[in-house]
Every structure is written in C-alpha cells, then in structure tokens.
Amino acid sequence: MDTTDGPSNTLGSVEKSIAVLETLWKLDGAGVTRIAQSLDLSKSTVHDHLSTLERNGFVVSNDGTYELGLRFLNFGEYVKRAQPLYAVAKPAVTELAEQTGERAFCMVEQHGLATVICLAEGEQSVQTNLREGTHSYMHCSAAGKAILAHLDRDRTEAILDRWGLKKFTDETITERDDLYDELATGRDRGWFVNREEYRPGVTAFGVPLRSDGEVTGAISLSGPAMRLVGDKEDRELLTQIRSTANVIEVDLSFQ
C-alpha cells in the first residue's frame, strides 16, 4: 500500500484504524503488542492509532489493555433503529423465539454480507456467538441464502467474487453450481436451510421478507441439528416461521 503523502496515505490511515478496531472487537480487548502482531504492524503505529481513537472516545484503556468504547453504542443503536425492518421485526422475532423455544433472528444484506439486526432467545436455544450486529457469509446461512436467492444474477456473482465460498464445515457448499441449485430449490419451496454448514451441530431455517415486491431481509430460526432434522415437527416450525414472516411483511406495508 502506498504510504506517501496525499489521498492514498489518508485512506491507508483510515484502513489501519478500522483494522485496529476490528482486531480489538475480535480479540475482546488486547494490548499494543498483540494487536501489532495480529496486524503485522509496528507497535509505534498501533499505539498512534489507539491514542487517536482513545482521544476521540472510540477505545478505552485499562492497565495497558484496550477495549472498544461506549461511544459505539450511539452509532450502533442509531444504525439498528434506522433499519425499516427493525421496529416491525423485533416483536415478531421475540414472539417466534418464545413460541418455538429456539433462537430466532432477522437479517439484512449489506456489502454482500448478512447482518443480524434483531435476535431473541427461546428457553431451549443453543448458545453460539451470534448476536445483533453479527455479519455472516451468505452462502452458509439460511437467512443469507433466502436473500441471495432473490438478488439478480450480476449482484449475486459480485458478492461471490468478493467473498468467495469459504468452507466452515464438511457440509458447507463450496461450488457455485451447487449453490445456485440450492438457491433455486429454496425459491421453489419458499424456505431455505443451513444444515450444519456454518457450525457443526447447528441447523437453521430461513424465510425471505418482501416489501413492495422486493426481498428486503429474512428471518431465521436455528437450533441443534438433532432437533431440526426435517421431520413433521420441522414442518410445524416452518409454518410458524412463514407465519411470522407474513406478520412482518404486513406490518412493514403499513409502516
């Protein structure tokens, strides 16, 4: 990367600050040395970025360990509530989780990734690292597939070119033709599935959400693969998910 004076240098500085912030998030806090090693940057460079971020309230330090600052709450809450789907999806997703006992959530696509905008836990939901704000690759997510299947071919190709088909488990789809077949099947039946494609032992169902004829997001229900195995009970769950999607779509039309 060009580090000479001028616009490219400014861009490089911004990208390094973003990389520092993302590393702090992934490591759940860290010191200068560990961040520098993770990013292959000098400790002095990392320290300069951290000092600037701390001065502006985006990170805090405690005995040499840096963490993300509470200022991000302002941005996060604003971005989440600015999503048209959030207000109508949150209560519906919460009710779905209570009815099924599983984890329910709503996702939207941005920059080719599926992002959780609201999430609710049922009484028997399996614990994973999924939370509001989590970004997921679309090819191995039930909700991601539900969205991806309704994008035009050029947009889908651009997403796959950018992010690829990363393998997470032995069940992950890693060939484009196989993914397109999966998306076509899901469009025909109206729902999508992730059978241990992202995390072993976890299955999820996804249903698209439409507004004015376009898919604007998707809702999903996840649980242990041994409970979501494709039998009669799963069909009952799918009926509940599709009913929830319908409620959201109706409420969205009157928003």
CATH number where 241 lies: 3.30.450.40
Instruction: Please write the tens of the pLDDT for every residue from 44-56.
Output: 999 999 999 999 9
Enter the pTM of the model. Answer: 0.80
222-249 confidence digits (pLDDT tens): 999 888 765 555 788 899 999 999 999 9
Residue 82 placed within a domain: yes
* Of 47, 71, 95, the domain-final residue: 71
For residues 35-50, give the mean pLDDT.
93
Residues 132 and 181 in one domain: yes
Residues 89 and 58 in one domain: no
119 shares its domain with 210: yes
| Domain annotation covers residue 1 | no
- Are 97 and 103 spatial neighbours (Cβ–Cβ below 8 Å)? yes
Q: Is the domain of 198 the same as that of 122?
A: yes
> In terms of domains, do 59 and 82 share one?
no
Is the same domain home to 84 and 53? no
Q: What is the pLDDT of residues 137-182, one digit of tens each?
A: 999 999 999 999 999 999 999 999 999 999 999 999 999 999 999 9
d(CA 212, CA 255): 12
pLDDT of residue 132 exceeding 90, the answer is no
Per-residue confidence (pLDDT) for residue 5, from 0 to 100: 40
Residues 173 and 91 in one domain: yes
Residues 103 and 65 in one domain: no
Q: Across the chain, where does the E strand assignment appear? A: 59-62, 65-68, 103-110, 113-120, 135-136, 192-195, 202-211, 214-224
Place 203 in a pLDDT band, splitting at 50, 70 and 90: very high
- By C-alpha distance, which of 19, 15, 18, 24 is closest to 39? 19
User: Quick one: what percent of the chain has pLDDT higher than 90?
Assistant: 69
At 82, is the secondary structure helix, strand, or coil? helix
- In a shared domain, residues 45 and 147: no
Domain coverage including residue 24: 7-71
| Residue 174 within any structural domain of the chain | yes
What DSSP designation does 125 have? P
Q: Where a domain ends, among 35, 51, 71?
A: 71
Residue 208: inside a domain: yes
Residue where one domain finishes, among candidates 71, 86, 115: 71
CATH number at residue 28: 1.10.10.10
The DSSP output letter for 138 is G
Q: Do residues 212 and 132 both lie within one domain?
A: yes
Q: Are residues 44 and 125 in the same domain?
A: no
